Amino acid sequence: MENAAVASETSVRRSKRGRVLETSDVAPSKSGGSMEEKSTDQEQGSGDGSFDELEEILPKPKRKRGRPPRAAGLKECDTLFDAVKNNGKYIQYMVKKWVERYEADPKSALVEILLMLFETCGAKYQLGVASFDEINVDDVVVSLVELARNGMIEDHYNSKSRELKTFKENLALFWDTLVLECQNEPLFDKILFEKCMDYVIALSCTPPRVYRQVASLVGLQLVTSFITVAKILGRQRETTQRQLNAEKKKRNDGPRVESLNKRLSMTHERITYMEEMMRKIFTGLFMHRYRDVDPDIRMSCIKSLGIWIVSYPTLFLQDLYLKYLGWTLNDKSAAVRKTSVLALQNLYELDDNVPSLGLFTERFCNRMIELADDIDVSVAVSAIGLLKQLLRHQLLTDDELGPLYDLLIDEPPMIRRAIGELVYDHLIAQKVKNSQSGMSGGDNESSEVHLGRMLQILREFPDDPVLSAYVIDDVWDDMKAMKDWKCIIAMLLDENPVIGLTDVDATNLVRLLHASAKKAVGEKIVPATDNRKQYYTKAQKEALENSRKEITIAMMKNYPQLLRKYIADKTKVSSLVEIVVLLKLELYSLKRQEKNFKAILELITDAFFKHGEKDTLRSCIKAITYCSNESQADLRDFAQNKLKDLENELLTKLKSAVKEVTVGDDEYSLLVNLKRLYELQLTKSVSNDDLYEDMAKILRDFKDLEDEVKSFLLLNMYLHVAWCLQSIDGENPSETSLTALMSKRTMLLEQLHYFINTIPEVQKEGRGRNVLSSRVCIILAEVWCLFKMSRYTSTKLEILGYCPDTLILQNFWKLCESQLSVSDETEDEDANEEYIEETNRDAIMIAAAKLVASHTVSKDYLGPEIISHFVMHGPSVAEIIKYLITVLKKNENEDLPFLFLEALKMGHLSVQPATSTDLKS
């Protein structure tokens, strides 16, 4: 609707050109056609002061129009309704013809257009021309409602028919064109549109939904079109007033002043009349339909009101009308709430409107803030955009914004992104009103200033790198300073510091550098909402590659300095080391920076042996492995040799630590080097049979070792066995390798079986004391799956097949049950939180379920046992069991009824009876 009005309003500014009238001049179009030329004539006539042209708007005899040329493809029998229904391009032509008929015979033409209105509602109804004056509007509407009640109407408005796909647009265009075509004469005769409005308002209040839909569309479009005419008249009034003032200054009281006074009075009267018609529709239609049961009608009302207020603020920018936008912020329909928010965005975007919105803002500000956390994501995102407008005008306080910042770590990325824009504008770039182009500071400030403000925000999350990553991800697209690699590096190295960094700031800046670099090369820094693979166009791939190159060049000479400075800091070194995998390593060869490359590897190796934390160890292994695979020529050989040297040095340290333990020394050296070996074995095979035997011997001979040491001994033994199995040639296995593997497997199983038989059922010392039990359950299940009988049957490796006996399986599940009863939230000061997620209840249930799903053990015992725990340990464990059932359902040979029956029996006998809620589940 508004497009037609805006097009008409814009077109009246075009210059008048004398030309020969062609068929194309009267061919229907959506921009207003010849009526725009008439409007332009009036404006230009009033501009040059010509007395003859001033007479154009005064009452005069009806014009005799030449018959308009026929529109191609239009049939003689086509009606106004046919033009709306079938093809919008004929609307302008049909309206021109109708206006001619109206000027010749008003009553017949008025009946014709009313019948068209009824037909657009879907009703076939006849009005008599002779008795038209005596017909009551309410009587006609009652008859139309009766037709609808009897099912004698056709719904064109909601039809899915292809020929009616533009019906709504055409209907709005028709009434817009009619108003503009009538703006000189019929619009002000107080008959035509008064009668049309009476019927439109009456139909909008009827029970049939299609009547209300059509009438609402027509009524709302009429107000929009009236505004277009009122604005044209307003400009004419301003021009006439200026001319009149000029004449008065000349002290001329002749006919020209009289003519200008007459014109000014008439123009003012017409504007007043237009506003009266707008109020009539607002009172009779809008005030009822903005709360219609149909959300589409409510939405169209609010959308139109927003357009009216913006385009005609002299009438509508008042609390009398604004309050409806505030009320509908609470509408139950998300589409209506969003429409109201978008309308308010358009209002606050114009600085001139803000003073008039003061009372409205004060009244509805809290609701606008609440909508930022709306249940509908699109509404929330739009509301955040509205709050940005309020912030720009300094209409919100920091206290009011506080709760919004919690949305930085909200689940939907769209909301986080919108809040990120708000945070950047308000806290980092500090874009506010009363500055050039509506902003202050902003992009002209240095990267260091913006980074300093970002660090102030990150101080809120000093101990949580995950939350910091969310904030960085949200703001990254807007904040160019996060891509200023040279500035970030200079700040970390304290080169000419503008802002002094605290230790917390330095930690956050290192995290920011790592996260920003990952974003720049196309990697995710926060958990993805889906696991779909990201695809890039050729241009996007080139941009990412250029970013990788820029980061490499910026880091090339300074990277060793950064590592030397922070190598001993465990909070920074992990993020700093992992930046290596984001670099374009071939540039080190092309730019002759081999010395710096080697220095980086030396420093990363040092970091590996300086620290014992999981993140640092994992980052170092990842970085050295990447360098050994991705670097070129001599540098690749250097990296591979460095990795081998690291392995050898680690084995030497481990053997020394084992000897220390055997003579009664402290276990710390053994534990930290076992962790290093574990992280290394997760990536590559580490061959050393003597060390394997030493680990088995320590477990067998030293029963009083710390549980964490025992856990990592078992983990490393398991990984060693897994690598040995992978190295065996399945087609031509050697007897020596098979014998050695069988011996190692036997040693591992002996230790695992010992633990499942000797560990108490319930350890009350806390979560950390149960880690060993959990490790034993998980490793044992993995070993059984690795050597399950069905994998090797009828192969040359058949000797490797293994299946536990019933007693061992029962003891295994008994230990699993005891661990499932230990809450993951149980705290223990001595527990190592680094690997705690690998030993929680989910991991134990996954290990047990895998044995059943992969047919490693008989499902007849373990299957019902697992299913009987369906609702005992929280939703995550329940989801794992549900997935196991889904897997079993896919196998037609599975006897699920038997499994469910046995599970019910076990659940009934359980010492933890199911609650009523569980039974419903």
872-891 per-position pLDDT tens digit: 888 888 888 888 888 888 87
Proportion of the chain above pLDDT 90, given as a percent: 54
Helix axes 771-786, 735-758, angle to 10 degrees: 150
The whole-angstrom separation of Cα 790 and Cα 776 is: 23
Considering only 763-767, 790-794, 844-848, 883-887, which range has the smallest mean pLDDT? 763-767
The whole-angstrom separation of Cα 631 and Cα 177 is: 70
The helix/strand/coil state of 802 is: strand
| Mean pLDDT computed over 333-360 | 94
The whole-angstrom separation of Cα 196 and Cα 855 is: 78
Q: What is the pLDDT of residue 397?
A: 83
> Number of C-alpha atoms within 13 angstroms, CB side, residue 608?
31
Q: What is the pLDDT of residue 18?
A: 33
If one compares 437 and 444, the residue with the highest pLDDT of the two is 444
Sequence-distant contacts of 279-283: CB under 8 A, at least 24 apart: 280/197, 280/201, 281/197, 281/200, 281/201, 281/219, 281/220, 281/222, 281/223, 282/223, 282/321
Considering only 71-85, 199-213, 670-684, which range has the smallest mean pLDDT? 71-85
Backbone angles phi, psi at 123, to 5 degrees: -110, 135
pLDDT-derived band at 840, boundaries 50, 70, 90: confident
The whole-angstrom separation of Cα 384 and Cα 762 is: 51
Distant-in-sequence, close-in-space partners of 302: CB < 8 Å, separation ≥ 6:
290, 324, 325, 328, 336, 339, 340, 343
Considering only 75-79, 488-492, 667-671, 900-904, which range has the smallest mean pLDDT? 75-79
CB 168, CB 217: distance < 8 Å:
yes
Residue at 810: amino acid letter: Q
Tokens of 655: 């053997």
CB 259, CB 51: distance < 8 Å:
yes
Q: Judge residue 251's burial from the number of C-beta atoms within 10 Å of its C-beta, 0-12 exposed, 13-18 middle, 19 or more buried.
A: exposed
Fill in the DSSP letter of residue 822. Answer: S
The whole-angstrom separation of Cα 581 and Cα 575 is: 11
The whole-angstrom separation of Cα 856 and Cα 869 is: 20
Residue 20 reports pLDDT greater than 50: no
Angle at 667 between CA 661 and CA 673, to 5 degrees: 100
The helix/strand/coil state of 123 is: strand
Considering only 181-190, 339-348, 866-875, which range has the smallest mean pLDDT? 866-875
Q: What is the pLDDT of residue 530?
A: 67
Q: What is the pLDDT of residues 505-528, one digit of tens each?
A: 999 999 999 999 999 999 999 887
Beta-bridge partners for 123: 153
pLDDT-derived band at 554, boundaries 50, 70, 90: very high
Q: What is the pLDDT of residue 87?
A: 73
The whole-angstrom separation of Cα 114 and Cα 120 is: 10
Angle at 656 between CA 563 and CA 712, to 5 degrees: 75
The whole-angstrom separation of Cα 897 and Cα 892 is: 12
Helix (H) or strand (E) holding 21: none
CB 6, CB 200: distance < 8 Å:
no
Backbone angles phi, psi at 652, to 5 degrees: -65, -45
Q: What is the pLDDT of residue 825?
A: 59
Q: What is the pLDDT of residue 832?
A: 60
If one compares 722 and 1, the residue with the highest pLDDT of the two is 722
For the chain, the average pLDDT equals: 84
Residue 307 reports pLDDT greater than 80: yes
Tokens of 808: 């061992």
CB 195, CB 115: distance < 8 Å:
no
The whole-angstrom separation of Cα 877 and Cα 880 is: 5
Fill in the DSSP letter of residue 283. Answer: I
Residue 597 reports pLDDT greater than 90: yes
Angle at 275 between CA 271 and CA 278, to 5 degrees: 140
Fill in the DSSP letter of residue 294. Answer: S
| Mean pLDDT computed over 668-683 | 94
pLDDT-derived band at 650, boundaries 50, 70, 90: very high
Among candidates 192, 190, 201, which has minimal Cα distance to 110?
192
The whole-angstrom separation of Cα 664 and Cα 647 is: 26
Complete DSSP assignment for 552-613: HHHHTTTHHHHHHHHTT-TTTHHHHHHGGGGS-THHHHHTT-HHHHHHHHHHHHHHHHH---
CB 770, CB 816: distance < 8 Å:
no
| Mean pLDDT computed over 487-509 | 86
Q: Judge residue 275's burial from the number of C-beta atoms within 10 Å of its C-beta, 0-12 exposed, 13-18 middle, 19 or more buried.
A: middle
The whole-angstrom separation of Cα 585 and Cα 794 is: 48
Q: Judge residue 337's burial from the number of C-beta atoms within 10 Å of its C-beta, 0-12 exposed, 13-18 middle, 19 or more buried.
A: buried
Angle at 309 between CA 431 and CA 359, to 5 degrees: 65
Q: What is the pLDDT of residue 676?
A: 95
Distant-in-sequence, close-in-space partners of 792: CB < 8 Å, separation ≥ 6:
798, 799, 800, 801
The whole-angstrom separation of Cα 216 and Cα 299 is: 11
Q: What is the pLDDT of residue 821?
A: 81
> Number of C-alpha atoms within 13 angstroms, CB side, residue 822?
26
Q: How far is CA 317 from the centre of its chain?
A: 33
Residue 48 reports pLDDT greater than 50: no
The whole-angstrom separation of Cα 592 and Cα 751 is: 53
Fill in the DSSP letter of residue 502. Answer: P
The whole-angstrom separation of Cα 779 and Cα 772 is: 10
Q: What is the pLDDT of residues 84-120, one digit of tens each?
A: 887 778 899 999 999 999 999 999 999 999 999 999 9
pLDDT-derived band at 36, boundaries 50, 70, 90: very low
The whole-angstrom separation of Cα 219 and Cα 256 is: 40
Q: What is the pLDDT of residue 314?
A: 94
pTM of this prediction?
A: 0.76
Q: Judge residue 577's burial from the number of C-beta atoms within 10 Å of its C-beta, 0-12 exposed, 13-18 middle, 19 or more buried.
A: buried
Among candidates 494, 510, 427, which has minimal Cα distance to 462?
510
Residue 21 reports pLDDT greater than 60: no
Q: Judge residue 201's burial from the number of C-beta atoms within 10 Å of its C-beta, 0-12 exposed, 13-18 middle, 19 or more buried.
A: buried
Residue 695 reports pLDDT greater than 80: yes
Tokens of 192: 């035509």
Q: How far is CA 762 from the centre of its chain?
A: 46
The whole-angstrom separation of Cα 825 and Cα 596 is: 46
